[in-house]
Structure 1
Amino acid sequence: MYSKDELKNLKLEFWESFAAFCEVQPYLKGRRKIWTLYNTKVKGVELKFDATRDGAFVILEVNHRIEEERLEMFERLTWYKETLEKDFPEGLIWDICFVRDTGKQVARIYTEKRGIDFHRRGDWGMFFTFMASQMFLLERNFMSIAEYLRE
């Protein structure tokens, strides 16, 4: 088990190492900003990474505070399911009611790689490879439809 400070330092080292990994990936070179993440310009829609003891996750999250708006945006995203899932032969996981650790309900569309553990440094290479390649695809597919989702 890690102490609170050790876990904080491990997370910091993980994300710094991931950033360094991304900087040297040929398919990410020349981008003004490596990832869009919170700056999708679509209200209530964000792209996220998550690394846990259960695996790696690349996420498109709909987090409108108002449930009606959240559900409406999720439905609008389903109209573009084929575009979003392009390059994902296994498809994506569509979860209309995901409950975060904080108890907040959001909708998520994501891909995952299970069986790797963020606490094992030996797994970090698998995390980095999966997260960078999958976010590149998800972000590209999302940005191709983003203008149709803007209000």
Structure 2
Amino acid sequence: MYKRAEITKTKKDFWTAFGQYMKPVPSAEGGRVNWQNYKTHVPQVFFRMKAERGFASIGIEINFKDLDMQELVFEQFETFKKLLHGTLEEEWDWQLHTYDDYGKATSKIEKRLEGVNVMNHDDWPAIISFLKPRIIALDEFWSNVKPAFEDFL
């Protein structure tokens, strides 16, 4: 069993390492970006990466409290589904109105890598290799479609 402080430190160390690894990678538009805390600049639309005990994931989260608005934004993403999957070169899982660990309604478009553990340093290369190309592809996708979401600002 891991202690809470050990989990917190290991996760912080992982995300620091990931950030250093990604630092030289420019955004699709050529600028600097904080990859591990990617900003979409659209309220309630987030790109989330997780590294946990048992899995890693990356995805788009839509967190509007108004479920009709959340569904509208999700449907907007659906209009770009072929472009998203083409940019990612794979299909992701789409979940409208699911609930997070805190019981809050959210909608997600995500990909998971099962069987890795952020607490095991030997798994870090696999987690980074999973996250890196996908966050870069998400950035490329977003640079093309963001104007379609600016009405939700």
Asked whether the two chains share a fold, i.e. TM above 0.5, the reply is: yes
Is 1:77 aligned with 2:74?
no
Is 1:86 aligned with 2:109?
no
Q: Residue 23 of structure 2 corresponds to which residue in structure 1? A: 23
2:116 match: secondary structure: coil
Instruction: Give unpaired runs (5+ residues) of structure 1.
Output: none
Counterpart Cα distance in 2 of 1:38 and 1:90: 21
TM-score for the superposition, normalised by structure 1: 0.88
Shift of 1:36: 8.4
Shift of 1:37: 4.7
2:72 match: secondary structure: helix
Distance 1:18 1:37, change over 3 A: closer
Residue type of the partner of 1:9? Answer: K
CA contact (8 A) 2:85 2:92 kept: yes
Q: Residue 52 of structure 2 corresponds to which residue in structure 1? A: 52
Q: Residue 135 of structure 1 corresponds to which residue in structure 2? A: 135
1:119 match: secondary structure: coil
Is 1:63 aligned with 2:63?
yes
TM-score for the superposition, normalised by structure 2: 0.87
CA contact (8 A) 1:116 1:127 kept: yes
What do residues 32-69 of structure 1 show as CA deviations (whole Å, max 9, x unaligned)?
Answer: 22438552122321111111122111111111111110
Instruction: Give unpaired runs (5+ residues) of structure 2.
Output: none
CA contact (8 A) 2:93 2:110 kept: yes
Q: How many residues align?
A: 148
What do residues 61-80 of structure 1 show as CA deviations (whole Å, max 9, x unaligned)?
Answer: 11111111001100111011
CA contact (8 A) 2:87 2:140 kept: no
Distance 1:10 1:124, change over 3 A: same
Runs of 4+ in 1 over 4 A off after TM superposition: none
